[in-house]
Amino acid sequence: MDALPEPEVAAPRVVGVDAYATRKGRRYDTALVDIETRRPVDLLHKPALHRALSDPSGTLRRMTLATAHDYAWIRTSPLFRHMMESGYTLTLIRGRTPREALRAMGAELGGTGEGTAGLIEADDAHRAELDDDWDESYVAGAVSVPGANGDWTLVLGFDGGLGIAATCVETLSRCGRVVAHSTNGGKPIHLFHWFEDGELRTMFEGPSSRDGSTPDELIPLLREVGFPVTCEGEHDESAPDVDGKAAVLALAERLTGIRLTESLLQDASGSSRSVGRVVGP
């Protein structure tokens, strides 16, 4: 048995840290656990833990263990309030460049703009030109951001919560991952979507009523970010209230490794944002 090769195991995308006692509680060591599979990754003594969580300079790296509390800032953010009132879709795409994403959406590319302020200005100008109240076209911006397993593209569109067409998202997620959340402009419809390798894995408006090919796979993460759901994925009446939108942003971070901040939305780390006009789905 010792001569058999160890089975290949995919690298974990989200890792949890927990302490466990040995020697009848006289010593504590640390376990690293793959959050998505709930399997142990490694057992570490204190020096090994520091090495595992440190970069070459010895500085500890922050792990992706976001909760709704980390996104409390959205309720005091004028920028996020504008997104909620206008209706938006924010999509995170792994393995595609910003221009590839906009082309797949059928956007008419219109150059670049600096940060979300430039995107809002372009969207306001577009809306002023519309003659048809039923015209569902909108302006979207896309920018490259670092995340888990490489660069991602963040696409933000003030689309009234329409979202990118399902067939387009399926294409964009092939050999990759797409995570999206949206709000339809002040009305109580807030959607979350997770696509993996061309397949809709999980979607929901309320976390206790999920759809997709694997509607229960995210239940452990839903509970960890703060959603009031039981271990079976049902609504938990005894759980404390939570800001559902903040919890959705925390869930998106767990799946992508991207911490969404007001600064990131405002200036995308100083990078130019590709902008395009998208015809509604």
Whether the pLDDT of residue 61 is over 80: the answer is no
Is 233 found in the same domain as 124?
yes
Average pLDDT over residues 224-240: 94
* The one-letter amino acid at 103: R
Is 105 found in the same domain as 235?
yes
Map the chain to HEC letters.
Answer: CCCCCCCCCCCCCCEEEEEEEECCCCEEEEEEEECCCCEEEEEECHHHHHHHCECCCCCECCCCCCCHHHHHHHHHCHHHHHHHHHCEEEEEEECCCHHHHHHHCCCEEEEEEEHHHHHHHHHHHHHHHCCCCCCCCEEEEEEEEEECCEEEEEEEECCCCCCCCHHHHHHHCCCCEEEEEEECCCCCCEEEEEEECCEEEEEECCCCCEECCCCCCCHHHHHHHCCCECCCCCECCCCCCCCHHHHHHHHHHHHHCCCCCHHHHHHHHHCEEEEEEECCC
Q: What does the pLDDT look like over 128-175, one tens digit per residue?
A: 676 665 556 677 788 888 888 888 999 888 877 777 778 888 999 998
Q: What is the pLDDT of residue 270?
A: 35
Is 161 found in the same domain as 22?
no
Q: What does the pLDDT look like over 1-35, one tens digit per residue?
A: 455 555 556 666 666 666 556 655 445 566 777 76
Flag the least confident range among 157-161, 182-186, 243-247: 157-161
Is 226 found in the same domain as 208?
yes
Q: What is the pLDDT of residue 39?
A: 73
Give the Cα separation of 247 and 227 in Å (integer): 7
Give the Cα separation of 31 and 43 in Å (integer): 5
- Mean pLDDT is highest, among 4-8, 38-42, 93-97, 107-111, for 93-97
Q: What is the pLDDT of residue 218?
A: 95
- Mean pLDDT is highest, among 46-60, 164-178, 254-268, for 164-178
Which one is predicted more confidently, 64 or 28? 64
Is 96 found in the same domain as 47?
no
| Residue 53 domain boundaries | 1-63
pTM of the model: 0.71
Q: What is the pLDDT of residue 54?
A: 43
Q: What is the pLDDT of residue 7?
A: 58
Q: 19, 44, 63 — which closes off a domain?
A: 63
The values of phi and psi at residue 117, to 5°, are -60, -40
Is 257 found in the same domain as 168?
yes
Q: What is the pLDDT of residue 45?
A: 55
Is 21 found in the same domain as 107?
no
Is 206 found in the same domain as 116?
yes
Which one is predicted more confidently, 150 or 55? 150
Is 55 found in the same domain as 101?
no
Is 109 found in the same domain as 4?
no
Average pLDDT over residues 227-250: 95
* CB 108 within 8 Å of CB 244: no
Q: Which pLDDT band, with edges at 50, 70 and 90, does 118 fall under? A: low
Q: What is the pLDDT of residue 102?
A: 85
How high is the mean pLDDT of the chain? Answer: 77
Q: 41, 63, 85 — which closes off a domain?
A: 63
Q: What is the pLDDT of residue 266?
A: 75
Q: What does the pLDDT look like over 71-86, one tens digit per residue?
A: 999 999 888 888 888 8
Average pLDDT over residues 54-83: 73
Whether the pLDDT of residue 200 is over 80: the answer is yes
**What is the total count of domains within the chain?**
2
Which burial class, exposed, middle or buried, applies to 116 when counting CB atoms under 10 A from its CB (0-12, 13-18, 19+)?
A: buried
Is 59 found in the same domain as 128?
no
Longest dimension (CA), the chain: 75
Distance of CA 135 to the CA centre of its chain: 29
Q: 35, 63, 91 — which closes off a domain?
A: 63
15-22 β-sheet, strand order: 15-22, 27-34, 39-44
Q: What is the pLDDT of residue 50?
A: 44
* CB 137 within 8 Å of CB 126: yes
Is 223 found in the same domain as 238?
yes
Q: What is the pLDDT of residue 136?
A: 62
Whether the pLDDT of residue 240 is over 50: the answer is yes
